[in-house]
Amino acid sequence: MRVLVAFSWLSMDLTGQTLLDKYVIAKQLGAGGMGTVWLGRHRGTGRNVAIKVLDDAMLKHPDVVQRFGREARAASAIQHPGIVEVLDLDQTPDGHPFLVMEFLEGEPLSSRIEKKGRLSENETIEIMRQLLEALDAAHAHGVVHRDLKPDNIFLVPRGGTGETVKILDFGISHKADEVVTKLTVQGTVLGTPHYMAPEQAMGKADVDGRADVYAAGIVFYECMVGDVPFDADNYNALL
């Protein structure tokens, strides 16, 4: 029987900790499938940032650790206003990878749909216009998101002049020219079932930008109707 005799760096409250001698952690913002997100502040400029730290359980899976780093590199390479900006990538003192991103104030598209039920035609058109422009920029860099959904689409107010649509979480993205890699093994399904293109749901390794376009179509439908077009009681029935 293995006994845990010490807390890991990530097991404790990170409030007040400083990363890279410049990012002071203020509080926890939330947790996702791969890590915990913290609000940080740059010691020099005072700029707020979001810091995603990979969770303890994920460190046991080298492919996940590699994919986490790919999220940062994929997003930073695109450099588009519709893609969340990545500022830094490093490790905590005990080896937990983390990435520092721009801090966004606003709400995910999923919350907007939940509150309104369905969006207006004009609102939907503007959201989709920006979303598709950002996807086009990602695909131009050879990056496929593979998990596009309302939770990963963030709406940032622009101070009375509309809002900016931002795509988040490139955690399972891949380069379109990397057909089969150690991170993408044929038969492994990555993504969210309701938004998966058929080839993605089948676990094919050569998923390309068309899967993102399919997911965007599901998002468009959900904005207009207030619900996804396909649903089921369980994962297998849905697929």
The Cα 105–Cα 12 span in angstroms is: 26
**Contact between residue 153 and residue 126 where contact means Cβ atoms under 8 Å apart:** no
Q: Which region, left, alpha or beta, applies to residue 166 given φ > 0 means left and ψ of -120 to 50 means alpha? A: beta
Which of the residues are catalytic?
147
- DSSP letters, 94-133, are TS-EEEEEE---SEEHHHHHHHHSS--HHHHHHHHHHHHH
What does residue 76 show for φ and ψ, rounded to 5 degrees?
-70, -30
3-state secondary structure of 89: strand
The Cα 101–Cα 2 span in angstroms is: 36
